[in-house]
Chain A
Amino acid sequence: MRSLIAACLIVAAPALAQTEPGQALFLQGEGASAVLFGGLRMSGQQIACAGCHGADARGDAEGATVFPPIDWASLRRGDRAGGPYDRAAFAAALRDGLAPDGRRLVDAMPRYEITDDAIDGLVRFLQGIDADQRRGVGPRSIHISARAGGDALRGLSLAVDRFNRDGGAFGRSLTMGPRETSLLDEEDLGRILDLRLERAGIKPVLRAELYPSPARADTHPRTLRAYFHGLVLGQALIECGRDVTRHCIEDHARKLRLSMFLDLP
């Protein structure tokens, strides 16, 4: 049985990260409260920016409601609907629901009760988010890592080789190196996929035709697991197209059909 995991599932514990206020506000809504319809109060945590605008601030849509991109470069664009933002206009949008041209923003956009310091932190975060979300993404390559090393590194390399042999995606191939400059680490994908498998009660078994070449009966489960993560990454890159962000990859890892890679009952 080509099982990807040993009998005891080893789930990497999430690394404790120091979160800056701007990031905590954007991702979790910490540090502000929201008011809708002139009087309906919500905590920031119930309506964090990332929930609608995406963890990469690239925007989204839900039915007829469009959540535009709000990375700082997009906000400052001269051709932006409603006009380009500067720091003062951004504060007016958050507090008063006004676009730079004075038009009212839609009801779906909350009015936030937020301090100047919190706005400054948020602006700093939005200025850096694009670079952060595209770290490791170059015109012809995307840099990933497997900091666990050893068998995990071996497994991810096998997937990278396969991806590149198949022609890469949108003019880019995958390269491997240190975590500090990578778009994603194999462990990050592992966290997302382990959670999916756990919730679905699936013991992952790779589809026979995807088994890494050269096939070896004694291929370590950790190698197979990292290889599976790499296959998912490759498919996510195809789905994300030319505009690759970390959030896009993670989003597809959460959603793509596991039956593409696994033998499911």
Chain B
Amino acid sequence: MNRIASALAAAVFLALPATAQHHEHAHDHDHRMTDMTAGIERLSLPNFPVTSSEGVTAGLRDMLPHDAPLILSFTYTGCESLCAVTNAILLGVEDDLLRANADEVVIATISIDPANDTPEQLRTAKAQIGAGEGWLWLTGGTSGTKPILDTLRFPPGAIEDHDPIFLIGRPCSGRFTRVVGLADPQDLVSFTRDLPECEA
């Protein structure tokens, strides 16, 4: 697909307010229309307590970078379907970031199944997938998960019945790009570029 069509496709998918940054998808390969939608929204991270796969407990906001770009995703370790794909996408993102020396970008995954996804279970899953050390795996526990997911506007419903969702942004900015559906790793990485710095 040529660049004009590509830019049109991006404009259709990105619901951009007039003053916002337009994210160019600069790929080496042909840009194809992927099965995702993306839009920018106001969102502040809550500070409900979470525990990481390494057993560290802190408020979610405190656990995550303040200024640096964040890619937030969701999973449950009992998943046998799309979670494997979203995790593979994030592994691809890790590789791309490493190649680009973009070591300030943080990837974090939140469990939507606190009953089964204990910190130990998350550690096992993280190791099985081969996630890098810097990729945070977090659980809000049985009482903290719902408030966190509600604040992040993760749709309610059965654990097995969700679209993949990624939230990308600098937490200090109070704005995130919400990607719904499966995204090419390069698309996710390009959303982390050109994010405006937060005002002091």
A interface residues, Cβ below 8 angstroms from B: 36-40, 42, 46-48, 50-52, 60-65, 67, 106-108, 110
Contacts and interface: CB of A to CB of B under 8 A. Distances in A.
A61 B161 contact: yes
Interface stretch (B12-20, B61-69, B181-189): B181-189
B104 to A, nearest CB: 23
Question: Dominant SS at the A interface?
Answer: mixed
A51 B84 contact: yes
A60 B81 contact: yes
Interface of B: 29, 34-35, 80-82, 84-85, 88-89, 91-92, 160-164, 181-182, 184-185
Given A61-B161, A65-B163, A38 B29 contact: yes
B82 A108 contact: yes
A62 B162 contact: yes
Given A52-B81, A63-B162, A64-B181, A108 B89 contact: no
16 contacts: A37-B34, A40-B92, A42-B85, A46-B84, A47-B84, A47-B85, A47-B88, A51-B81, A52-B81, A62-B81, A62-B162, A106-B35, A107-B35, A108-B82, A108-B182, A110-B85
Given A106-B35, A107-B35, A107-B182, A37 B163 contact: no
B184 A50 contact: no
Contacts of A37: 34, 89, 92, 184-185
A50 B161 contact: no
A252 to B, nearest CB: 13
A108 B92 contact: no
B147 to A, nearest CB: 22
A63 B74 CA distance: 14
Contacts of A38: 29
Contacts of B160: 62
B29 A62 contact: no
